[in-house]
Structure 1
Amino acid sequence: MWKGADQSFKNADLLLKSIDLSSNYLTGEIPKEIELLYGLVSLNLSRNSLDGEIISNIGNLQSLEFLDLSRNHMSGRIPSSLSKIDRLAMLDLSDNDLDGKIPIGTQLQSFNASAYEGNSNLCGEPLDKKCEEDTTEDERPAAQVSDDNSTFLEALYMSMGIGFFTGFCGFIVSVLFISSLRGPYSKFLNTLVTRIYLMTQG
């Protein structure tokens, strides 16, 4: 019976809607065959002694709206495929031994932090505990950012100084050792001095 209608389970992978085996003494890993139950809407395996990892292709269950794996001994990372279930409205993975970063996806970040609490090695939003790889340049100490800026400016000024010095030396050497440039250069200087003198007198 599902929503007031009798269902025939000749094709269980499409017609089975709900599995609730909570509060038992189940042990071992979650059977991988569950990922083939494409019509599954609700899966509750909470309050058991299940271990191992969450099945990696749980994202195949695109109809899943309710998932409760809390209070077990699940380990490993949360599969990234879980973030691809758009219909997921209720999630509880609390009180396990899960670790690593919570996969980024609008769906998983929308749940309350209580859905992940009790997993001391989990990190990332919506938990307050940030992952080490999330540290960005903006989050580094201000002194370190300032040091980087100072190093950049020093290199810039040094390059400008070397460029000016090289150009000036090249000009002086050209005037001193190339006789054809002396005359035009002297004429240019006389004209420049005369114009400056006239401007100051005016």
Structure 2
Amino acid sequence: MKSLESLDLSRNDLSGNIPESLSALYSLSYLNLSYNNLSGMIPSGRQLQTFIDPSIYMGNANLCGPPIFKSCFNNKTTQNDIQEYEKKIPEWLWFYISMVLGYVMGFWTFCGILFLKDTCRHVYFHMIDDMYDRFWVQWHLIF
């Protein structure tokens, strides 16, 4: 499917939005989606930006965005689609949120154990003191 060079879906009574995955067809050199019931914003993927002829979208009254000269902000259904898309949290943001939550949970678990368990607290701080003493001795032996 990725090596598809020509796609003519005109006059097929298709409805709904144009899928974003259509912009992943890098070999596509001809596209015709005219005279269907397509709606929403025309995707702005790399490959679809090369199709600047508005006639390939002709006959779809509810389509908007470039290369059609119809603004998407006047279309109520498109505004709802845009608002729903903006509500979704991007994938990269989830990554950073989970990193921060993991760090915070790990830190407070560690501090909670040190606070609640006397033996763990004594062992931990004894280990820190030993490391400090070893470092201090090594430092004075070198210099």
TM-score calculated relative to the size of structure 2: 0.49
> Larger Cα Rg: Structure 1 or Structure 2?
1
Bigger strand share:
1
- Give the TM-score of the pair, scaled to structure 1: 0.35
